[in-house]
Amino acid sequence: IKEQMSKVETIKLRNRHVGKSCQLFYKSDPLKIVRGQGQYMFDETGTRYLDCINNVAHVGHCHPRVVQAGAEQMATLSTNNRFLHDELVRCAQTLADKMPGNLSVCFLVNSGSEANDLALRLAKTHTKQKDVITLDHAYHGHLSSVMDISPYKFNQPGGEPKPDHVHVAAPPDVYRGKYNKFNTKGQDLGKLYAQEVTDIIQKLREQGKGVSAFIAESLQSCGGQIIPPDGYLQTVYDEVRKAGGVCIADEVQVGFGRVGSHYWAFDMLGVVPDIVTVAKPMGNGHPVGAVVTTPEIAESFAATGVSYFNTYGGNPVSCAIANAVMQVIEDEHLQENALKVGNYLLKECTDMIYEFDCVGDVRGSGLFLGIELVKGGDKRQPATEEAHWVVNRMKDVHKILVSSDGPNDNVIKLKPPMVFNIENAEEFLLGFRECLSLLQKQGSRANGVTQTSIICNLPSSKIHEKQDHLINDPDKQQVLNYSQIVSTSFVYKSKLFGRSP
Ligand code: PMP
């Protein structure tokens, strides 16, 4: 075992030798994670963090069956996909079997960015068009081609300008979007948002242009965990196809059972794409991705005569790992778990809309949830600073990792490993409720909170009882900023005292 550096030394070397633009979680006080297991991560001091953000560790960090499959294959053979290999064809077959319609041809790649880049190439060769429709705030990867279709990046200050062949439609956000449940009472939001895409197609037609592709995450993640309104995606897919374009579903974040009710998020929305891209959860942390499409589209690509080769895409190790991940999802009923735990979280968090002024909207499906923090009388002003404060306090005090996202960075995002259980959900809710209680008490002035901790050993049921009592009793409001946190052994052992300033 290599000797571990001090955290200070790691930071020093990173600052010296790693590009400054490389993202780091909790920038002002970054975490040094040295080990992961299931839904937990451990830092260099052995402190346990409950992981609510790593959707990549889909079946749990370092799942033994996935580790074993990778290690065994690595010890046997790791080479490129120009040789026949059973793990490769088995992986392609399993993916195809999971897809509806005639989505039956796979290309194995190494990442979500590569998958989306290839999807755009497939669309372009099949349709012989180059104009692409994407959604505002979308993120589809870091390669030049997919940065071009990612307003999440090109809208940032300093981002490259939007290329002419890319057309941006409003994302179907029914809470904060252009059309929402406040300003369009009684109207069909699905139709209104779909019309945005139809209008783009019409404008292209007037310029004598067609459509190559419409690309969207089935549920937009970086956009703020968006659940599109009924009928939206069906209408858009119909219109795009009528215009000769193909529909690409980016399932890089939301695929493989995360949404609970279905294996793929597009299935939940009642559409069948022409091209599907998958990655992140597929390798549980190992780089592997895929593009799945129809025989017709794959044939158009082959007909160009230009062969496709990707040195690492589809190598036996990646495929063995992906096969193990897909098998574990089945064997451990993780999709069902996502539905059960996700429904519980959704219900509990939705109740918070009435409990806390700063909770504006709660949405999601399975273990893909967003909690929009707001302020102001109308509960619509984005509470961005407060969201950042909550993210940091959840880490510092409760040892729970959550993140924020969305156009205003005020949506608390939950996308934990799929082994996240009801006990974990309760642990999250307890910590989160404590943070929101503090915000409520301080009228959203989230600064200068002090804490001292004392040990107590209350079972979780008692803490809930106590907390309900405190929350419901106005005379006890000053003790609302007491919090309880959970120890590594699941025993509630610390009670944090703090008086808001
Ligand atoms: N699509 C979506 C929806 C993503 O969230 C991401 C990564 N965050 C990508 C594509 C790119 O994947 P990768 O980082 O594996 O290249």
Burial class (CB in 10 A: 0-12, 13-18, 19+), 238: middle
- 491 C-alpha vs ligand 1 centroid, how far in Å? 37
As given in the structure block, the two tokens for residue 209 are: 């242009």
Q: Which atom of ligand 1 is nearest to the CA of 114?
A: 16
pLDDT of residue 127: 98
Pair of tokens at residue 361: 């909207």
> Mutation test of ligand 1: which of 25, 109, 113 has the most ligand atoms closer than 8 Å to its C-beta?
113
User: How far does residue 55's CA lie from ligand 1's centre (Å)?
Assistant: 11
In order of their start, the domains of the chain are 7-59+334-497 (3.90.1150.10), 63-109+280-293+306-331 (no CATH), 112-278 (3.40.640.10)
Complex ipTM over 0.90: yes
Whether 258 lines ligand 1, by a CB cut-off of 6 Å, is no
C-alpha to C-alpha distance for 274 and 294, rounded to whole angstroms:
6
* Residue closest by Cα to atom 7 of ligand 1: 141
**CA–centroid distance, residue 141 to ligand 1 (Å):** 5
* C-alpha 16 to ligand 1 mean position (Å): 27
Closest C-alpha to 66, from 416, 319, 251 = 319
Residue among 54, 120, 226, 280 whose CB has most ligand 1 atoms within 8 A, to mutate: 280
Q: Are 247 and 202 in contact (CB under 8 A)?
A: no
Tokens of 114: 């590569």
Ligand 1 lined by 480 (C-beta under 6 Å): no
Ligand 1 lined by 217 (C-beta under 6 Å): yes
Q: How far is the CA of 113 from the centre of ligand 1 (A)?
A: 6
Tokens of 32: 């040094």
Cα(278) to ligand 1 centroid in Å equals 9
The candidate with the shortest Cα–Cα distance to 228, out of 236, 240, 243, 218, is 218
Task: Find the largest Cα–Cα distance for the chain.
Answer: 77
CA–centroid distance, residue 500 to ligand 1 (Å): 40
Instruction: Tell me how far apart the alpha carbons of residues 225 and 216 are, in angstroms, rounded to a whole number.
Output: 13
Taking alpha carbons only, the member of 396, 379, 278 closest to residue 326 is 278
E strand or H helix that includes residue 127: helix 112-127
How far, in Å, CA of 77 to CA of 72, rounded?
9
Q: Does the CB atom of residue 403 touch ligand 1 within 6 A?
A: no
- Looking at the CA of residue 112, tell me the nearest atom of ligand 1: 12
**Bridge pairing between strands 452-458 and 492-497:** antiparallel
- The pLDDT assigned to 471 comes to 33
116 lines ligand 1 (CB under 6 A): yes
Is 364 touching ligand 1 by the criterion CB < 6 Å?
no
Mutation choice for ligand 1 from 116, 137, 219, 252, CB with most ligand atoms inside 8 A: 252
Residue nearest (by alpha carbon) to ligand 1 atom 1: 140
Q: Which atom in ligand 1 lies closest to the alpha carbon of residue 143? A: 16
Q: For ligand 1, atom 2, name the residue with the nearest CA.
A: 140
Say if residue 185 is exposed, middle or buried (CB neighbours under 10 Å; 0-12, 13-18, 19+): exposed
Q: Is the CB of 253 under 6 A from ligand 1?
A: yes
Other C-beta atoms closer than 10 Å to the C-beta of 406 total 26
140 in contact with ligand 1, CB cutoff 6 A: yes
Q: What's the 252 CA to ligand 1 centre distance in angstroms?
A: 6
Expressed in angstroms and rounded, the spacing between residue 115 Cα and the centre of ligand 1 is 9
Q: Whose CA is nearest to atom 12 of ligand 1?
A: 112
Indicate the helix (H) or strand (E) that contains 285: none
**pLDDT at residue 1 in the model:** 59
Check residue 470 and report its DSSP letter.
H
Q: What is the structure's pLDDT at 158? A: 85
Residue 141 Cβ < 6 Å to ligand 1: yes
Evaluate: CB of 137 within 6 angstroms of ligand 1: no
Q: What is the mean pLDDT of each run of 10 residues along the chain (501 residues)?
A: 87 96 92 97 97 98 98 97 96 98 97 98 98 98 96 83 96 96 92 98 98 97 95 98 98 98 98 98 98 98 96 97 98 98 98 96 98 89 97 98 97 98 98 97 52 27 36 31 26 24 21
Name the residue type at position 336: E
Residue type, 205: R
Q: Give the count of beta carbons closer than 10 Å to the beta carbon of residue 303.
A: 10
110: Cβ below 6 Å to ligand 1? no
